[in-house]
Copies of this chain bind each other. A is one copy, B any other.
Amino acid sequence: VKLGELGEFGLIERIARAARRSGADSGRSVVLGIGDDAALLRAGAGEDVVVSTDTAVEGVHFRWDRQRPRTVGRRAMVANLSDLAAMGARPLGCVLALSAPPGLQVSVLDAVIGGMLREAATHACPLVGGNLSRARQTTLTLTVLGGVSRGRALRRNKAKPGDRIWVTGRFGASALDVLRARRGEGEVRHVPEPRLHAGRVLSRSSGIGAVIDVSDGLGADLEHLMRDSGCRAEWARDRIPLPRGFRVACARLGVDPLQLAAQGGEDFELLFTARPNGPDATELTRRLGVQVTQIGQVVAGSSSGAGGSAGGWRHF
């Protein structure tokens, strides 16, 4: 069955049913979900509303022949949740704007939506509405809303000279997967973990500087932090924590593992700075519930530019 045969209202009903089945249609924050002119969400008392939007375009951010539709959906949701994590917010809900060709198989779309809803259910970010349009290219725009206590949102511009530079998790798995798929060796399977818990812990901690989630690549996003904070980073690529087996896999493909890890992008780990008198790696790892590694420190001076020298993903 193709999308054009199902029609708009059939598709809305299908998505709403899938959301109910997966438990990703409702929650404490949802006053009104799919089906009216708009959805209604309720933030907590004293919370501001965080909003972020992110788009995945077929042929640009994903290809049907390189990853399963379910993975496309999971990654799209994770990319958005990661922005909430980087603000220290808890998810309230999300809306999906989907544009697709009428000839798209409904089974493909079912799998995309299924992947999205899986992550939505896992991270308590219910799907409460959306929009469906015809288009030549499949495009998924997710907008996520979150709640964060007033004055507690994490920012990009709060790094200070002397801060240590930290990262959660490990880098390069997404880039390696994409590289392999590009060379015809299997599909993109890796689905990063949005660091929602770690972000919330950071938002409640003292001594935290600037925070960003790594989407464009560690080097480029570190440049963003430094530029927005008016500082410079001294950091060592060989401090980047790598996934298990990563060096071997890179050697086989003939690529520099540290370069791939630094420039790859879509890691969705948190990159943050903290005052030097704060907790050490062991203590941060315990509090954030994920491995935390120091990769450098912040010094006075201005950064080299908009991520140019550091590489990273170019959107145009």
Residue numbers of A with Cβ under 8 A of B are: 3-4, 6-9, 11, 31-32, 35-43, 48-55, 57, 59-61, 83-84, 86-87, 89, 92-93, 95-97, 99, 102, 128-137, 139, 141, 143, 145-146, 148, 150, 153-157, 211-213, 228, 306, 314-316
- Contacts known (A37-B156, A87-B36, A153-B32); A316 close to B11, Cβ less than 8 A: yes
Min CB–CB distance A43 → chain B (angstroms):
6
Determine which of B43, B48, B61, B102 lies in contact with A316 in the assembled complex, contact meaning CB atoms within 8 Å: B102
CA–CA, A6 to B57, complex, Å?
A: 20
Min CB–CB distance A12 → chain B (angstroms):
10
| 6 further contact pairs, Cβ within 8 A, besides A6-B316, A60-B133, A95-B143 | A51-B145, A54-B97, A60-B134, A133-B139, A133-B315, A134-B315
Min CB–CB distance A183 → chain B (angstroms):
22
Task: Across the A-B interface, give the 3 residue pairs with the lowest CB-CB distance, nearest first.
Answer: A38-B52, A8-B315, A37-B86
Q: Which residues of chain B come closer than 8 Å to A153, judged between CB atoms?
A: 31-32, 40
B49 lies within 8 A of A145 (CB): yes
